[in-house]
Chains A and B, each alone.
Chain A
């Protein structure tokens, strides 16, 4: 019996009364899964993923993480829930004028008192861990650079380190490679996959590259107009289903050619 990490029940969200963005979604997320959520823009992917750590308040339904119904907590408890969920963003969301290692250590803020964080009193283990994460991403030479002086791919890898620094039980990634060039995208995607696998970390990722979804996901969820229209293994995702999901927005499903996808990874910067 697989352990449930996140349980989503009848999740509904509307920004105004007329239009429902999410129309009652249900999903059980199990430990160790690498879930990719696909769907055209405007389908509600971003809203969906942000309901999972309540960056967006949903209108109806339940999200249960680690035995806690997250719509019912607030203040310190909500921050505690969030601190166990790492998140990676399309635009990296680093603090540009702060150096790289401090940006990674921001991942500890949820469990560090204000005074300690203000004085920069992170423990030896935390500093070491931050350094090791950055080293693993090939960024050990850049740790004192300002984050804004890095390239997009580098910034996203710092973003991954920051999320991992939270020692999360769940990793959320909202279009993590959408702003990157194809080469950096490939590296970043591979690194997210490897690091989650190594830590046996559950991951939920929004992507619009269907091919990447098929390559890495253990399970694919297809969202169309606020409803889950596919939830299953990548092998069973048929061409017809993909076409159905992207119906009317065909130009958005970026299909990489096989050669590019299978080609060896290069870590040159």
Chain B
């Protein structure tokens, strides 16, 4: 294994129980996916709905352990970007920011020193000290994003959440996320929006029905993907 390889998946498969009943079968959300993620690399994952893209991200995040194949990872921090993770309705914005930050893997001291920045970025003002049950859904998302953007992992995993809130906040959050993406860390982005992937990623993995179809330079994979999409075999 080369030195700058952070995570390597070798023929990974993930099976889910199909139904909650005695004798219910299993289905393979991932059949056989292989990929290597190197330091500083920005990898896009494309594929149709149900291809296993989100499942793949959860394997990379260390949430799912493979039922077959192997995952090799360096001792690095990996973070799946999740908004409003662990939010409790009856707690204030401040308490929720701390709780969510801890769940996202931030240290208590780091969160404390960033609370002012979180409050500022979320534009919640005095509502920051109110229970989030009193928030509109847009305000919850703004708080969620402001906390999530504080994490500073070696590998950032993003599942289609590039921006939230009204037009103005969307622009601001999109910008902040791009800063996070472009400061040299490894990123894996899942999306079926081709233009989004094209603007961020340099390499692309194409999966279909839980299998890697192709992995390589962005333009090559897109060409093959579009050819297959428009002229199915």
A and B associate in one complex: no
Residues of A within 8 A of B (CB): none
